[in-house]
Each structure stands twice: as C-alpha cells, then as structure tokens.
Amino acid sequence: MDKFDFNGKKVLVTGASSGVGREVAILLSKMGAKVVIVARRENQLKNTISLMEGDGHSYRVLDLADFDEIIVTLKDIVSKDEEKFDYIAHCAGLAIPIPLRSMSMANISQIFSINTYSFMALLKCVAQKRLFNDGGAVVGISSWAGVDGQAANAVYTASKGAIDAFMKSAAKELIPRKVRVNTICPGGIRTEMLINQVVKNYEGEKIEDLPDYLMLPDKVASIVVALLSNSMQCISGVAIKVDEAKNWE
Ligand SMILES: NC(=O)c1ccc[n+]([C@@H]2O[C@H](COP(=O)([O-])OP(=O)(O)OC[C@H]3O[C@@H](n4cnc5c(N)ncnc54)[C@H](OP(=O)(O)O)[C@@H]3O)[C@@H](O)[C@H]2O)c1
C-alpha cells in the first residue's frame, strides 16, 4: 500500500480559502483525496476548487466561530453523500495581536472561538462513528508562538497552546479507534495572516521586506499532508515545531 495514497479518502480542510489551507487542499487533491473545503469567503473557496485536481471536491461557506454550526454542517455533508470523513486538516486561524492592557472578553472569545473551540467541535465530530471512519487522522495548525510565547500576542498564543493540550488528550481518547491526532507549530509563514499583521504593526513596511526565512505555505502544507498520511502511522499526540533552518541556529 502506498503510504501517501489518499485515493478514496474523504478529507475536510478548514481555512482553505487562502494560505496554508488552500495549499493543503490542492496537495490532497493531487494525491487522490475527495476534499471538502470550508471558510467564509465563497469566491476564495471557488478559487481554491479551481486550482485543485480531480473530481468530487466541494466547498461549504462556514463561519467557524459557531461551535454548533460546525457540527450541524459536518453532519449535513456526511448525510448528503453518505460518506464519512477519514481525515481533517484544521488550518483556519485568526491572529490579532492584543497587548495585555487591551484584552476584552469579546476579543478573547473571538480568537478562542476560531482557533480553539472550532478544533474542539471538529474533534467532537471525529468522536462520532457515524461521521468519521476509524483509522484516520487529524492535524491542527497551532503556532511556534503558542509554544514559546510572544509579546503583545498572549491571547493568540494561549488559543494555540490550548489546542496543543487538547490534542494530546483527544489523541489518547481516540486510540481505540486508531485515529491519530497531532498539531504542528509553525514559525512565520508568508501568507495573508502575517502580511496583514506586518502591515498593521509596522506601518510602511512592504511585503517584499518580509524576511527570507519565512516559510512558504506549500512547504507547511506538505508537512500537514505527510502527518495526515499513513507514512506517519506511529505519530499521535504530538505537537511538532516546524520552521526554516535559520531559526534552529
Ligand atoms: N502565517 C503565519 O506566520 C503563521 C504562523 C504560525 C501559525 N499560523 C497558523 O497557520 C494557520 C493558517 O494560517 P495562514 O497563515 O494560512 O493564514 P490565512 O491565509 O490568513 O488563512 C486563515 C484562514 O482561516 C480562515 N478563517 C479565519 N476566520 C474564520 C472563521 N471565522 N470561519 C472560518 N474560517 C475562518 C480564513 O478564511 P475566511 O477568511 O475565508 O473565513 C483563511 O482561510 C492558522 O491556524 C494560523 O494561526 C500561521
């Protein structure tokens, strides 16, 4: 069996309207998966579909801020074609730098809803045998900053640290079903998220001025897909730091 073969497998990719999620969806389509992509921006989802290979892919407009709606949507997707999911790549995320003095319940809740609670809702679906097949895998994108901390970004980093902790327990609970659960913790990636932050934080700085050591989203996508694949059958319950070699010095 080809350990990188996703033929006949159904995969959900969140955050596939841009950045890493889009690259994950494209790569999985090339590897034979039937991919369902979700995000809020419909036009961008359609763009992603147009870049994918093969047939049978679909998109759903979904706001991941709504815990219950995530579960309703996954149930609906499964009931439509009567095929359960085999894999989930949770790539959606929201990064808003907030200094400690500016924290409010509203902005904490917004960031946790999208980064953390949505991951919990997805794992609730995974735990339901009628929605998710045994033997599959889930990968969530956390953040290097969630492991190490980052000034003026405590809320975002906590929301990411929380998914790492949640993932470890979920991985243990899903052992009987042979479902693997992991997260990756990337450093800087050259995507809309970072570009928006840089422009906001350092007014006047150009995108071209972003440092060379930032990872390209397709590189991160290949790590996500490898971790989903059967080639990583012995890895579960692990948060893996990933970054360009420069940052290892
Ligand atoms: N870029 C970095 O430097 C970096 C570093 C470490 C970790 N990460 C993590 O990597 C992951 C991918 O981010 P990226 O860099 O690819 O950024 P991106 O291009 O901004 O992608 C973020 C994705 O999340 C989706 N999203 C945001 N809010 C949502 C909501 N309420 N409902 C549904 N979808 C929502 C966006 O889709 P819509 O706007 O269409 O809804 C978009 O597809 C994120 O989890 C991020 O935290 C990024």
Give the pLDDT confidence of 159-177 residue by residue, as tens digits. Answer: 999 999 999 999 999 999 9
Handedness of CA 45, 184, 224, 123 (dihedral sign): negative
Tell me which residue of 103, 179, 165, 99 sits closest to 135, measured CA to CA. 179
Domain chopping of the chain, boundaries:
10-241
Which CATH homologous superfamily contains domain 10-241?
A: NAD(P)-binding Rossmann-like Domain (3.40.50.720)
Kindly state the DSSP code that residue 153 receives in the 8-state scheme: B
This prediction's pTM = 0.96
Give the pLDDT confidence of 76-99 residue by residue, as tens digits. Answer: 999 999 999 999 999 999 999 999
- Ligand 1 atom with minimal separation from the 22 CA: 43
Handedness of CA 86, 167, 28, 7 (dihedral sign): negative
Tell me which residue of 176, 243, 198, 235 sits closest to 216, measured CA to CA. 243
Does residue 63's CB lie within 6 angstroms of at least one atom of ligand 1?
A: yes
CA of 239 to the centre of ligand 1 (A): 18
CA of 60 to the centre of ligand 1 (A): 16
Q: How many CA atoms lie within 13 A of 126 on its CB side?
A: 31
Which tokens belong to 104? Answer: 């409010």
State residue 246's pLDDT score: 60
Does residue 42's CB lie within 6 angstroms of at least one atom of ligand 1?
A: no
Residues facing 241 on adjacent strands:
185
- Ligand 1 atom with minimal separation from the 196 CA: 20
Summary mean pLDDT of the chain? 93
- Residue appearing with tokens 């790590």: 223
For a pocket test of ligand 1, which of 13, 37, 40 has the largest count of ligand atoms closer than 8 A to its C-beta? 40
User: Cα(239)–Cα(166) distance, rounded to whole angstroms?
Assistant: 11
